[in-house]
Structure 1
């Protein structure tokens, strides 16, 4: 595997590329980590990218502006630029553009949802982990966002969503439920897993991400990843 970073034209933004050699174009995921715009969490970034790579995906991680440079609109531009770069270099990167999607966690899930609803966006599917949907924690994050459930249209790509009933930061009724209701209203194919265990910010929920996440592991909630792979095979293959 070749791992490298390319700068995006958006300030304080770049794209990590985890390129697996392949004799065929592979499906690909653009990962948008969480971290409340304070940092790019390792639990949501390289460890997730490497896990996808072991399942025959090309993987990418967008590093968008955080800390004193944090800005929701600029982060959205960084994600759009990342997709544009990947599609423009798809052959060299071994990517099948028709199986290219976005995966986001928490605040990154809000950004991923926003991009998946962008007119003429290049994401063919979306996977959202305990996503922020409404701007209820903007003050906490220090940014001004939007209610991404209001962005859903008939053209929104198939979406896989998971979360935990124990999540107090982005409670189900206020966030995930609001989004899936809009998906259903617009006839967008989706699959939802709201686990009875786990919590917010748990990434893959296994030991691999738990090592860099205060040993937060939940065997049941970790099922989201194999469930996603099954869903992807049904929807995209």
Structure 2
């Protein structure tokens, strides 16, 4: 595995960590992989370590190259700064797809909580003229091919918006512009044919980001005839991350049912992108040729 840091801002405040799987003659169809860009949560106030490297490594183990974006947070998160950060990351990844060993048309953005809002934002606002200009994009360089939204914040209206989303309006002094920004980041109203397919997982009992958030987004996707897969688990609190011992930090952070989301999302991504291997018949590896690193 190769690990590489890429600075996305001059001061090093915004950066991305790439986790790239090694190539092997024994696995010739993994020379290129799909990619997952991870946006950790943290209320736009910080980016959680529990939703960063552990997520990237789990996707890497499932055949994806992974990238963790440490985007702008309070007090630098004023909209659209964080969205521009992820747009720049997407453009950089696509521009260097060959170096990273990825398919440029198989890039998913995965986000958690506020990071889920950011992932849904790039899925719905990637073509916003201001975002495109600030990110140096002129087409679909920053457009995800799929979204993975894990207990995402979606709405800033209809009484389902957590206080955390207000961190992205800090610095907007004009009240009219602040109202306009809040309306723009109410993402159930931004879904359209330009939005990529999505995998969504949430819990009914989430007491931080109400379950109405993913339901609103899924309903908007259904209305726009955009494919999605939605999993609502009855039990489980907010911020479960992998919901396993790996990301354990309190008695509520392990949930064997919610922990299934990582495998479910990987399967969904392969169903959406297609697997790397060709249709059969498959090449046969013999002992002699395996020792030589060859395939017959």
Q: TM-score range by the shorter chain?
A: over 0.9
Deviation at 1:10, TM superposition (A): 7.1
Aligned residues: 234
1:225–1:140 Cα change, 3 Å: closer
2:6 paired with 1:6 = yes
2:263 paired with 1:226 = yes
Instruction: Report what 1:41 is aligned to.
Output: 48
Deviation at 1:214, TM superposition (A): 2.5
Instruction: Report what 2:147 is aligned to.
Output: 126
Conservation of the 8 A alpha-carbon contact between 2:41 and 2:116: yes
Q: Please state which structure has a larger fraction of its residues in strand.
A: 1
- Structure 2 CA distance, aligned partners of 1:160 and 1:42? 22
Corresponding residue SS for 1:132 = coil
Conservation of the 8 A alpha-carbon contact between 2:200 and 2:229: yes
Conservation of the 8 A alpha-carbon contact between 1:37 and 1:66: yes
CA-atom RMSD in angstroms: 1.6
Match of 2:194 among 139, 155, 160: 155
Deviation at 1:153, TM superposition (A): 0.6
Deviation at 1:33, TM superposition (A): 0.5
**Where do 5+ consecutive residues of structure 2 fail to align?**
128-139, 170-181, 275-296
**Where do 5+ consecutive residues of structure 1 fail to align?**
none
2:69 paired with 1:62 = yes
For each residue in 1:107-149, what CA deviation from the matched residue of structure 2 results, as whole angstroms up to 9, or x when unmatched? 0000000101222343110000010001222467533252011
Conservation of the 8 A alpha-carbon contact between 1:10 and 1:74: no
Using the TM superposition, name which of 132-141 and 148-157 deviates more: 132-141
Conservation of the 8 A alpha-carbon contact between 1:163 and 1:199: no
Instruction: Report what 1:142 is aligned to.
Output: 167
| TM-score (structure 1 length as normaliser) | 0.93
- Structure 2 CA distance, aligned partners of 1:128 and 1:72? 20
For each residue in 1:64-92, what CA deviation from the matched residue of structure 2 results, as whole angstroms up to 9, or x when unmatched? 11243333311000000000000000000
Query: Which structure: larger Rg?
Result: 2
Instruction: Report what 2:238 is aligned to.
Output: 200
Instruction: Report what 1:18 is aligned to.
Output: 19
Instruction: Report what 1:214 is aligned to.
Output: 250
Deviation at 1:155, TM superposition (A): 2.2
2:89 paired with 1:52 = no
Corresponding residue SS for 2:209 = coil
1:201–1:139 Cα change, 3 Å: closer
Corresponding residue SS for 2:168 = coil
Corresponding residue SS for 1:68 = coil
- Structure 2 CA distance, aligned partners of 1:155 and 1:171? 26
1:10–1:236 Cα change, 3 Å: farther
| TM-score (structure 2 length as normaliser) | 0.75
2:109 paired with 1:87 = no
- Structure 1 CA distance, aligned partners of 2:44 and 2:195? 25
1:140–1:113 Cα change, 3 Å: closer
